[in-house]
């Protein structure tokens, strides 16, 4: 249950932060990530302690973003967005690409559920 909540919050917050940070530049529509893309990302993060730490910290920040959105605290959202961007850079460009594409998926769809399940080993490492 906690994994689904974390994955859903991650997807929703990533989509919210991405929408908030949009610019007037033309949008690149990322191709939906494959299961293999997600598995490679999970393995890359798992194999690197610094990336794993950043990934786990992102989970905590996503929860803070959700609370700030509930309070409509734009100042806090801006500060959290900067922290999230920094941590996402530490995790690597594949993380952002996969998460951006996941934000476009319905987390309750069969494809969304399969991709979410791939991240379960990472979530367990963050507990």
pLDDT tens-digit readout, 16-45: 454 444 444 445 555 677 889 999 999 999
Assess if residue 42 is contained within a domain. no
Residue 7's pLDDT is 53
Domain count, the chain: 1
Residue 31's pLDDT is 66
Assess if residue 113 is contained within a domain. yes
Assess if residue 97 is contained within a domain. yes
Assess if residue 112 is contained within a domain. yes
Residue 99's pLDDT is 87
pLDDT beneath 50: ranges in the chain: 2-3, 5, 12, 15-16, 18-26
Assess if residue 58 is contained within a domain. yes
The per-residue pLDDT of the chain, averaged, comes to: 82
Assess if residue 35 is contained within a domain. no
Residue 88's pLDDT is 95
Residue 11's domain comprises 2-18+50-126
Assess if residue 24 is contained within a domain. no
| DSSP code per residue over the chain | -HHHHHHHHHHHHHHHHHHHT--SSPPP-PPPPPHHHHHHHHHHHHH-HHHHHHHHHHHHHHHHHHHHHHHT-HHHHHHHHHHHHHHHHHH-HHHHHHHHHHHTS-TTSHHHHHHHHHTHHHHHHH-
């Amino acid at each position: 249950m906690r994994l689904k909540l974390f994955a859903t919050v991650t997807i929703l917050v990533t989509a919210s932060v991405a929408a908030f940070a949009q610019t007037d530049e033309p949008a690149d529509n990322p191709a939906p990530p494959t299961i293999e893309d997600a598995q490679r990302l999970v393995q890359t993060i798992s194999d690197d302690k610094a990336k794993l730490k950043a990934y786990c910290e992102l989970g905590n920040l996503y929860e803070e973003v959700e609370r700030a959105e509930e309070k409509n605290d734009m100042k806090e959202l801006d500060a959290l967005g900067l922290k999230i961007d920094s941590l996402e850079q530490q995790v690597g460009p594949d993380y952002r690409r996969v998460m951006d594409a996941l934000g476009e998926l319905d987390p309750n769809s069969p494809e969304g559920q399969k991709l979410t399940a791939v991240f379960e080993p990472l979530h367990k490492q963050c507990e």
